[in-house]
Amino acid sequence: MMATDEVIAEGMRDSDHANRLTARRLGIDTLDEDVIFMRSDCDICRAEGFDALSRVLVETSSRSIIATLYQVTSGFLRHSEAGLSESAWRRLGLDDGEEVTVSHPRPLESLSKVRSKVYGHRLDRQSLRTIVADIVAGRYSGIQLSSFITACSARPLVREEIVSLTHAMVDVGERLTWNRDVVVDKHGVGGLPGNRTTPIVVAIVAACGLTIPKTSSRAITSPSGTADTMETLTRVDLDISAMRQVVEREGGCIVWGGAVGLSPADDIMIRVERVLDLDSEGQLVASVLSKKIAAGATHVVLDMPLGPTAKVRSAEAAASLSRSLLSVAKSFGLKATIVTSDGSQPVGRGIGPALEARDVLAVLQRASHAPLDLRKRALSLAATILEMGGATAAGNGFGLASAVLDDGRAWEKFQRICEAQGGLRTPPIPAHFYPVVAETPGRVTAIDNRRLSMVAKLAGAPDAKASGVDVDAKLGDAVEKGRPLFTINAETPGELAYALDYARSNRDIFTIVKP
């Protein structure tokens, strides 16, 4: 046995040296969770006592991350190598062959705040600030994120906590400012397939001279998000300065929020919420409002469809959510109006990126087959925005919006916005379709939005842009036996078969009552 300071000094040198590995890009996409792959029999794992799933600190000379360790027992990795997931590679800004050091991270302080929330204590502003900062820096594993999200559902956030969370989410990302007194925005609380009003609303509102810098999301659990639909018409992955140029020139834009970096914590949390199918009121409010505040909005209209298979299902839920949204918006000086609408059936005809784009174009181009429900919803939202934003007097909004849509100014503005974003495209057309027909005659009395969305997703939407569902019958329609209720559209026969299989084993997506 030895016990001298020389041994210690040697140990220090050893451990410094031993903790260096050559970084190797493995090309593995693990989304937000940074992952490092190391040999289980490498010196570092043994010296540091790392196990599979340990959280480890990975450092370059200038950057550091906390990553989840997967141990490798086969030969595809050398002892001297550390394999890194795509997210870890990007976050560290590595080049192939660079060295990284690997060691134990300090315990995450903010996790003790999450535990305290689990046990029923309120989170103060500083706690939420550090939690959100750690989340955006990738310091939370999926397991830890899940615990935070579950805790905020099981111990619902009170107003003060929601305000603090919203603040924290805004502060951690980019924030736009505009040299104008009025900047308007809109948001749909979602859950209603085909409700693609945004492109029409932006075109009308911008044509009337208001500023509307709209960022939209891609689909999370739905067959299409506004960004997915717009992407079939023009580029949406603009960065923040390109977005600014479009808005300065045309007064409005419709871009993907993910590329702009507003409220980045939201993008990370929402992926875990999807897996858990948890969406607490507090987190929904912070998610919606943080994006609007970060975009620099002064006035926002919130479209809240209400129906048995929409996201908001009861008048009580709508009232509670509205109260929370308005109260939190007010504390930020953001003027908000909530428009509740019928959420009992899909809007327009198409469900899926390109199919919805077709409906949007039909409304803007005033085609004879344009879906009236989509047109009316867009006009109603645009009217509220025009009045809120002072473009016209109260009560005149609908008339102004209709005039601008009907005389072609909205369509003209939409084309100019698309040109500014990179050029107008023609949406793709699906290669395969198959109608699902009524098996009995009768009247349509209910449509299950959720399962209809599932059919569209199984057909390939939103990744297969042309895929989805066309709705052929609406509530109250009388249908004969054999008449199409909806048509499945797909890019490949495999996807068509997959969606049809589901539709055939869910024959009550449309409820038809005999006369």
Catalytic residue set: 279
73 or 179: CB nearest a copy of itself? 73
Judged by CB under 8 A, the chain residues 226 through 245 that form the site for a copy of itself are none
Any idea which residue has 């196990």 for tokens? 51
Residue bearing tokens 């603090």: 164
Residue 335 as a binder of a copy of itself (CB under 8 A): the answer is no
User: What does the block give as tokens for 504?
Assistant: 């055939």
296, 175 contact by CB (below 8 A): yes
Among 110, 150, 234, 298, binds a copy of itself (CB under 8 A): 150
Residues 255-284 close enough to bind a copy of itself by CB under 8 A:
271-272, 275-278
Q: How far is the CB of 232 from a copy of itself (least distance, A)?
A: 16
- List 3, 62, 97, 316, residue binding a copy of itself (CB under 8 A): 3
Q: Which of 240, 270, 339, 497 binds a copy of itself (CB under 8 A)?
A: 497
Q: Does 500 bind a copy of itself (CB under 8 A)?
A: yes
Interface positions, 438-467, toward a copy of itself (CB under 8 A): 457-458, 460-461, 463-464
- Selected binder of a copy of itself within 36, 42, 48, 236 (CB under 8 A): 48
Minimal distance in Å, beta carbon 67 to a copy of itself?
14
Question: In this chain, which stretch among 52-60, 316-324, 352-360, 377-385 interacts with a copy of itself, using CB under 8 A?
Answer: 52-60
Does the footprint of a copy of itself cover residue 193 (CB under 8 A)?
Answer: no
Q: Which residues pair with 252 in a beta bridge?
A: 212
- Report the residue from 97, 119, 241, 369 that binds a copy of itself according to the rule CB under 8 A: 119
For residues 65-84, which are near a copy of itself according to CB under 8 A? 70-76
In terms of Cα–Cα distance, which of 450, 501, 492 is closest to 467?
492
Amino acid type, 373: D
Least CB distance to a copy of itself at residue 457 (A): 7
Decide: is 505 part of the binding site for a copy of itself (CB under 8 A).
no
Q: Show Cβ contacts of residue 92 under 8 Å, excluding neighbours closer than 6 positions.
A: 23, 58, 60, 63, 64, 65, 84, 100
SS3 419: helix
Q: Does 317 bind a copy of itself (CB under 8 A)?
A: no
Min CB(193)–a copy of itself separation in Å: 16
Give Cβ neighbours of residue 241 (< 8 Å, ≥ 6 apart). none
Give the nearer residue to a copy of itself in terms of CB position, either 254 or 466. Answer: 466
* Between 250 and 273, CB nearer to a copy of itself: 273
Angle formed at CA 348 by CA 480 and CA 440, multiple of 5 degrees: 15
Please provide the DSSP assignment of 258-321 as one string: GGTTSSHHHHHHHHHHHHHT---HHHHHHHHHHHHHHTT-SEEEEEEEE-TTSSB-SHHHHHHH
Single out the residue of 154, 185, 145 nearest to residue 267, CA to CA.
145
- Interaction between residue 326 and a copy of itself (CB under 8 A): no
Q: Name the helix (H) or strand (E) containing 460.
A: none
Q: Which segments within 331-451 are labelled E, that is strand?
A: 335-342, 350-351, 432-437, 442-447
Minimum distance of a copy of itself from residue 465's CB (angstroms): 12
Between 40 and 130, name the residue whose CB sits nearer to a copy of itself: 40
Binds a copy of itself by CB under 8 A, chosen from 213, 252, 258, 430:
430
- By CB under 8 A, tell whether 53 contacts a copy of itself: yes
* Beta strands, E only, 294-399: 299-306, 335-342, 350-351
Instruction: Compute the distance between CA of residue 510 and CA of residue 449 in angstroms, rounded to an integer.
Output: 9
User: Minimum distance from CB of 212 to a copy of itself (Å)?
Assistant: 30
| Residues pairing with 39 in the sheet | 72
Please select the residue that binds a copy of itself; options are 82, 94, 132, 149, rule is CB under 8 A: 149
Tell me: does residue 495 bind a copy of itself (CB under 8 A).
yes
Among 209, 408, 482, 493, which residue sits at the site for a copy of itself (rule: CB under 8 A)?
A: 493
Q: Is 118 in the site for a copy of itself (CB under 8 A)?
A: yes
Interacting residues of 61 by C-beta distance below 8 A, sequence separation 6+: none
8 A C-beta contact, residue 170 and residue 264: no
Whether the CB-CB separation of 100 and 40 falls below 8 Å is answered with: no
Q: Return d(Cα 188, Cα 343) in angstroms, integer.
A: 12
Q: Can you tell me which of 60, 116, 130, 153 binds a copy of itself, judged by CB under 8 A?
A: 153
What is the DSSP-derived secondary structure letter of residue 238? -
Instruction: By CB under 8 A, tell whether 46 contacts a copy of itself.
Output: yes
Q: Whole-number minimum distance, CB 225 to a copy of itself, in Å? A: 14
